[in-house]
Structure 1
């Protein structure tokens, strides 16, 4: 997945005829490749490998056998996504490893259908990022997967997008991996038959899924947690309450979060709880994870909860302390990171997402204004504390 989903505050999509199609001709595919280039390279300034850029087209080997979907209004592409459906041996070895396809293959033992689906290259044009285009594209991928009797749809995204994909119904799995040009990626899986989970997170895809008659919900869910017990401890942003999240943060930091985290200073406890529950998520990192890469754009505010993170720039190397933020602040603007941040131990990061903040700002302007005031202080550097 991992597309560009930055919001355009206050924009309402005009009513224009919309279609979602599968690209079949070379011309349609070239138009999608150009749309990707405009989004990733021109808009997001992604530092991508030259081998996948050609004459303002962006493509790779998986396009050769994937289904390329696009949303179009009039003659303009306003969104696209790629889905690859196949057997494990059809996917690149590195993806088989990071997605743990060998472990998921165990579910298919004795079953006829053994295909997996992988969703990537999801993106929406700037003026349509507050619309339903993203959900239309994902719903079409869900329907295609069901047609091939796929039980597991995989994907991956940067940390700041995790709230969005957990809202849709995906779960985090395994360890993060670095995708050059795209940054640190958290692997995800969608259990196609897990109706209860879709209902609990209020997934927009549930409206389509509940119409299916061939669903074996509990079987796949029970199998997943038996096979992947290590992922049962993930803090899902859509299933945790305000109070529960606050308790988790209190336990990690050893003190009231508003006393430790500078961005919360001056907020009453109830307001701080509401802000964090609406805009944040807890991400798990492992030794060697490069959380930020110098030159990559920032779409979040990272705050260390536990463990150790080392930041390094041209002239210095420092250690981040729990409660401190690191990396550039990308809640409003999207500045490029100027330092690399690497986890040197297992760590947990509180990630404040740029994608969630504009909606919160419109709904709770007083709380948001205090947060913005604190951010201005952080940006000036007066509250950043690092240990040499």
Structure 2
């Protein structure tokens, strides 16, 4: 779907019926959710779906056999969904356990196998309703399940361009990227319901729920940073200020970003700072990571800020230069394979946050689009 096609715009106040969150229990309800997943991931965005039922246009996998499957409805219309799996380490496949470093997290329990982990996945909302708090309401239900079941570690993943949303909820990056056959390169995340201080400083919508937990473990955060020291270098989008973000980029690039990044040409330093901080997130990629793969959905603009990448169709990508397809104004598909030749950092500029910037600061957004158009012609 071309995102320039006007979509209905709803406010919560304009809805004739409320948003209702429920649990899918019947085969018919679950099938409706599988079809919604396929529509959003296969037809709207579209991702390169390989492990799906294309004939019936359904998207499901083994985790659906033992999950709690939440839905969001407005009237009779299904508008969103997320699933959550609660289980012990042995309940998850070796691939999932490895993707989220579950064996390392198991050490917190002195390898006692009877503690549960949580995993939230396949969360999405129909395009017409993304301005409403549907996704937050769904994820709140997931967090409530974690608290009710005394889950200390709740895992999730996300494409890089949505990291700011999940970090707003209170997720932390584990420091490891994983490759999903359908969705491409993803960041692995964990949320720790006992991390009250962190939920407070990111102003998480889950804070009130977390404070009501009957049992809280104050040692868990110290243990997390001890076990995962690599997370200390991750730049959380919700904790970095506009000035410190600019300074970080200046250090990485060896010069002020507006002197190095062609997409910032014509913007004042103040405007450039606002754009980068509002739309951007810094992501670390390990040597060998396929940052983008040909035919993958593109909902971002990637800019190299440290390290080296190799592209199948471009030679010599320099610091400050964008690479891959341009997915800021419209979703598109990547046309090349791009791999991290060394440990690399990239600045990911989000399609979703850029759409918001176009509404609030059209002059800045238009200048960025003008610069990108000029770069494509050159």
Instruction: Indicate conservation of the 8 Å contact 1:171/1:188, yes or no.
Output: yes
Instruction: Indicate conservation of the 8 Å contact 2:52/2:58, yes or no.
Output: no
Structure 2 CA distance, aligned partners of 1:20 and 1:337?
Answer: 35
Q: CA deviation at 1:319?
A: 3.1
**1:126 is aligned to 2:127:** yes
**1:115 is aligned to 2:112:** no
Match of 2:137 in 1: 136
Structure 2 CA distance, aligned partners of 1:126 and 1:251?
Answer: 38
**1:186-225 to 2 correspondences below 5 Å:** 186-216=187-217, 218-225=218-225
**1:89-168 to 2 correspondences below 5 Å:** 89-109=90-110, 114-168=115-169
- Which runs of 5 or more residues in structure 2 are unaligned? none
**1:31 is aligned to 2:37:** no
- Deviation >3 Å, runs of 4+: 7-11, 50-54, 110-113
Q: CA deviation at 1:110?
A: 8.0
Match of 1:253 in 2: 253
Match of 1:18 in 2: 19
2:371 to 368, 374, 382: 374
Instruction: Indicate conservation of the 8 Å contact 2:185/2:290, yes or no.
Output: yes
**1:1-388 to 2 correspondences below 5 Å:** 11-13=10-12, 14-15=14-15, 16-109=17-110, 114-216=115-217, 218-313=218-313, 318-380=315-377, 382=378
SS of the equivalent of 2:375 reads: helix
RMSD: 1.9
Structure 2 CA distance, aligned partners of 1:195 and 1:9?
Answer: 37
Instruction: Indicate conservation of the 8 Å contact 1:329/1:379, yes or no.
Output: no
State how many pairs are aligned.
372
Q: 1:50 to 1:176 in 2, by over 3 A?
A: closer
SS of the equivalent of 1:267 reads: coil
Q: CA deviation at 1:215?
A: 2.5
Instruction: Indicate conservation of the 8 Å contact 1:98/1:174, yes or no.
Output: no
Structure 1 CA distance, aligned partners of 2:336 and 2:58?
Answer: 29
Structure 2 CA distance, aligned partners of 1:150 and 1:221?
Answer: 14
Structure 1 CA distance, aligned partners of 2:68 and 2:106?
Answer: 22
Structure 2 CA distance, aligned partners of 1:332 and 1:28?
Answer: 35
Taking structure 2 as the reference length, the TM-score comes to 0.94
Structure 2 CA distance, aligned partners of 1:172 and 1:364?
Answer: 30
Which digits, 9 at most, give the CA deviation of each residue in 1:29-75, with x for residues without a partner? 11111111111112122222255545111111110011111001111
Instruction: Indicate conservation of the 8 Å contact 1:9/1:359, yes or no.
Output: no
Structure 2 CA distance, aligned partners of 1:8 and 1:271?
Answer: 29
SS of the equivalent of 2:358 reads: helix
- Which runs of 5 or more residues in structure 1 are unaligned? 383-388
Structure 1 CA distance, aligned partners of 2:285 and 2:239?
Answer: 20
Structure 2 CA distance, aligned partners of 1:361 and 1:193?
Answer: 37
Which digits, 9 at most, give the CA deviation of each residue in 1:254-307, with x for residues without a partner? 111101001111111111111111110100001111111111121001000011
SS of the equivalent of 1:283 reads: strand
Taking structure 1 as the reference length, the TM-score comes to 0.92
